[in-house]
């Protein structure tokens, strides 16, 4: 995992630079979506192939995992970059971001609702626990669905903003220097990283909170799905609100709304289901800031082009993608460490009151504080 994250720090900006310098009759970004998605689907399935616990199995799993991550980058960075080249109209960019967010959340609802049942179904008649084969077959189902959807994106999108092909191509050092000097991009990088630390730090151990603090294993699916359902609702309001009051204010509002929701959950007694549900729904409805971040990256691209004449769509979206991966890695790792510091004992059916407080702090309080900090940072740094 550590090796994969280190490689991401190199691979993401590299892919962004490659994509933005691509010259083809299909555009700069669309070809990677069309021709990269089948390979991504294959390697997504291969990540669930069990080659045993020996050295060969470890090497196979490591290589496949890193390759799958590279293919995800190959497809996702061009996909994200499309928002900046499909239109120059800020309102249209807001709508594109909203559409992406709604689709993403609907997809998460489907995956969260169906994956366990599909994996168990494919594990064989009478299976009580999903097997590796069951998960692999589930991955095959999702891959078969995903590839045609990628081709629809390729076929229905159009890159209308074309850079100056006669301009000199920048070397990696010049690209990096330009990005670091763009204070708006660095602001989005910082805010997005903090946002993802909060999001992934929470989601990676939410199940522990439901099992041990709430004592209600059956609520896991609901608690895990609420942010996606709420995100669909909130996302429908993002575009018109951003058109009216601006993206910065909307993103600050979503971050503060999520923070308030988690504070409500944190201070709720574990048996007070009414307050807990209110808090989770407040958090969920305001879980719609990611499309605004994407639209603001496009603003960063336009700002730098106006200032220097250089357009770096791919590199900028790769930087944003790197911030989400960095936040993911930090949040997932530190969540477990913080729980352990409060005395959580893995595998134990009973946890101490201090351990329960640690789980509640990790899942709700720390993310609430981080989201509030992200809102303050954005408000101060983005003028």
Residue 27 located in a structural domain:
yes
Structural domains of the chain, count: 1
Domain hosting 195: range is 2-160+171-381
pLDDT confidence band for 16 (50 / 70 / 90) = confident
Read off the pLDDT of residues 120-149 as tens digits, 9 standing for 90 and up.
Answer: 889 888 777 788 889 999 999 999 999 999
Residue 284 located in a structural domain:
yes
**For the residues 55-70, what does the mean pLDDT come to?**
89
* pLDDT score at 164: 65
Query: Percent of the chain, pLDDT > 90?
Result: 42
CA distance 286 to 273: 20
CA distance 358 to 209: 10
User: Mean pLDDT over all residues of the chain?
Assistant: 88
**For the residues 258-272, what does the mean pLDDT come to?**
96
**For the residues 94-123, what does the mean pLDDT come to?**
86
Residue 267 located in a structural domain:
yes
* pLDDT score at 48: 92
* pLDDT score at 282: 95
* pLDDT score at 192: 93
Q: Is residue 228 predicted with pLDDT exceeding 80? A: yes
Residue 166 located in a structural domain:
no
**For the residues 91-96, what does the mean pLDDT come to?**
86
Residue 165 located in a structural domain:
no
Residue 326 located in a structural domain:
yes
pLDDT confidence band for 350 (50 / 70 / 90) = confident
Residue 66 located in a structural domain:
yes
**For the residues 282-302, what does the mean pLDDT come to?**
89
Residue 105 located in a structural domain:
yes
User: 0.85 cut: is pTM over it?
Assistant: no
Say which CATH number the domain at 49 has: 1.20.1250.20
**For the residues 233-254, what does the mean pLDDT come to?**
91
């Amino acid at each position: 995992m550590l090796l994969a994250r280190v490689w991401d720090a190199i691979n993401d900006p590299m892919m962004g630079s490659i994509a933005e310098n691509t010259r083809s009759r299909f555009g700069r970004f669309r070809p990677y979506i069309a021709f990269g998605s089948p390979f991504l689907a294959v390697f997504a399935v291969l990540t669930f192939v069990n080659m045993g616990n020996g050295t060969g199995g470890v090497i196979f799993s490591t290589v496949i995992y890193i390759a799958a991550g590279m293919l995800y980058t190959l497809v996702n960075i061009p996909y994200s970059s499309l928002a900046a080249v499909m239109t120059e109209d800020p309102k249209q960019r807001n709508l594109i971001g909203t559409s992406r967010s709604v689709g993403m959340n609907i997809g998460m609802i489907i995956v969260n609702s169906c994956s366990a049942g599909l994996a168990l179904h494919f594990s064989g008649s009478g299976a009580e626990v999903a097997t590796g084969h069951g998960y692999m077959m589930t991955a095959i189902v999702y891959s078969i669905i995903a590839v045609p959807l990628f081709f629809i994106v390729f076929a229905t999108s159009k890159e209308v903003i074309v850079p100056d092909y006669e301009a000199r191509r920048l070397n990696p050092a010049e690209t990096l220097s330009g990005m670091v000097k763009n204070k708006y991009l660095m602001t989005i990088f910082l805010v997005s990283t903090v946002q993802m630390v909060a999001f992934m730090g929470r989601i990676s151990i939410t199940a522990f909170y439901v099992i041990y603090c709430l004592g209600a294993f059956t609520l896991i699916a609901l608690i895990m799905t609420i942010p996606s359902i709420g995100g669909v609702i909130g996302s429908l309001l993002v575009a018109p609100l951003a058109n009216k009051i601006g993206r910065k204010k909307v993103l600050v509002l979503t971050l503060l709304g999520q923070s308030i929701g988690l504070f409500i959950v944190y201070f709720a007694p574990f048996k007070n289901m009414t307050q807990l549900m209110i808090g989770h729904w407040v958090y969920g409805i305001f879980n719609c800031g990611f499309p605004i971040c994407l639209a603001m990256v496009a603003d960063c691209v336009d700002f730098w082009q106006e200032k220097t004449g250089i357009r770096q769509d791919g590199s900028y979206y790769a930087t944003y993608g790197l911030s989400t991966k960095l936040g993911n890695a930090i949040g997932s790792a530190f969540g477990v460490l913080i729980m352990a510091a409060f005395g959580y004992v893995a595998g134990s059916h009973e946890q101490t009151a201090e351990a329960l407080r640690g789980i509640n702090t990790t899942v709700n309080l720390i993310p609430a504080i981080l989201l509030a900090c992200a809102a303050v940072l954005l408000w101060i740094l983005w003028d």
